[in-house]
Chains A and B, each alone.
Chain A
Amino acid sequence: MCALHGMYRFADRTVSIDSVYDMVHAMCRDYAVDADRPDVVVRTTPVDIAFEESVSTDGIEYTDDYLETLAVYRKVAEAMPSFDTLLVHGSCVAVDGAGYLFCAPSGTGKSTHVRLLRELLGSRAHMVNDDKPLVGVFDTGAIVYGTPWDGKHHLSNNVSVRLRSICLIERALENRIRRAEAAEAYPRVLQQVYRPMNQGALARTLSLVDTLLALTDVWVLGCNMDRKAAELSFAAMSGRGAP
């Protein structure tokens, strides 16, 4: 079988992808670059595709080309901690040049909340990534990068933004927001970070989460799905009051 090849730029790193199917290249076309010295080399095989199928837990029968896109991102995510970068499950929106990253287990309402925020703020708000952005954790601050792995609504842009706040969302009847307590922030954020299978990369990931939390405000938002929730979260996280 002949591999399909492409070069892409994710989180300021050049990634070479050799795949079995074309879907991943079509998905990543906005990130294509003309380069010949990759930082990360990804090659997928039918074994990788079979692995993704084996770990899928939602009962849906996915096509092999879709499963390969997951296999590619898994390999990217395994490599990224060595570049001080994490894959975070969350929805990130940029407002006035600052990134707000909303994290929660699937189905809690991250995407809905970010949609409400974008509707509230209009042209001030720009989608970074709605599902699986990369987050660079550097001494100078954390940077969120858009990626093509952007959730069921395919909301993302090939942009980066300095991360201002992380918001952990939980459903509630009444809207409320508070700063996360120190002891709860780490495990709750870690739950939403890709944890590499490689032990060295995992150890690096755990350390990067320490640094991420030292650099970033973490909030806990209990919310229903109305516009008031977005007004509340933005007022608190931006420190500027209601928009």
Chain B
Amino acid sequence: MRLNANFLAHDTGNGWVLVPTGGTAFSGVVRGNKTFGEILKALSSEVDEAEIACRIRERFDAPEDVVELDVARALAELRRVGALDE
């Protein structure tokens, strides 16, 4: 999977936002924390869920089950707004 090219991720300094360009049904703003930002960065190239979780664990000191849940929730939200190419 990877991030759909019709979405732009932006680091606000205090979190991340994901916004669609034209050509998407979703027209809102998805906001998230630094973990969400790392997930978005991982999705800039083809990657699978386990690999994203692995990258997050390398970046943040958090229990494995917490990371896996965070990644699953983020991917579910990205799927909901049509931001994932799978």
Stretch at the interface among A37-45, A142-150, A186-194, A223-231: A186-194
Q: Contact: A187 with B31, CB < 8 Å?
A: yes
Q: Contact: B8 with A203, CB < 8 Å?
A: yes
Q: Contact: A202 with B21, CB < 8 Å?
A: yes
Known contacts A183-B15, A198-B21, A198-B22; is-contact A191 B29 (Cβ 8 Å): yes
Interface flag for A1 (CB, 8 Å): no
Query: In angstroms, how far is the closest chain A Cβ from the Cβ of B21?
Result: 5
Q: Contact: B17 with A206, CB < 8 Å?
A: yes
Q: Which of A191, A195, A202, A210 contacts B12 (CB 8 A)?
A: A210
CB-CB under 8 A from B17, the residues of chain A are 186-187, 190, 206
Band of interface residues on B: 10 to 19
Q: Contact: A206 with B19, CB < 8 Å?
A: yes
Interface flag for B73 (CB, 8 Å): no
Query: In angstroms, how far is the closest chain A Cβ from the Cβ of B9?
Result: 9
CB-CB under 8 A from A199, the residues of chain B are 8, 21
CB-CB under 8 A from A202, the residues of chain B are 8, 19, 21
- The dominant DSSP class at the A interface is helix
CB-CB under 8 A from B20, the residues of chain A are 195
Interface flag for A197 (CB, 8 Å): yes
Q: Contact: A190 with B29, CB < 8 Å?
A: yes
Q: What residue of chain A has the Cβ atom nearest to residue B9's Cβ?
A: A206
Q: What residue of chain A has the Cβ atom nearest to residue B33's Cβ?
A: A183
Interface flag for A182 (CB, 8 Å): yes
Complex CA–CA separation, A186 to B31 (angstroms)? 9
Query: In angstroms, how far is the closest chain A Cβ from the Cβ of B37?
Result: 12
CB-CB under 8 A from A207, the residues of chain B are 10
Complex CA–CA separation, A207 to B14 (angstroms)? 14
Interface pairs (6), CB distance under 8 Å: A183-B15, A187-B12, A197-B21, A198-B22, A206-B8, A206-B19
Q: List 4 additional A-B contacts (Cβ < 8 Å) besides A186-B14, A187-B17, A203-B10.
A: A186-B15, A198-B21, A198-B22, A207-B10
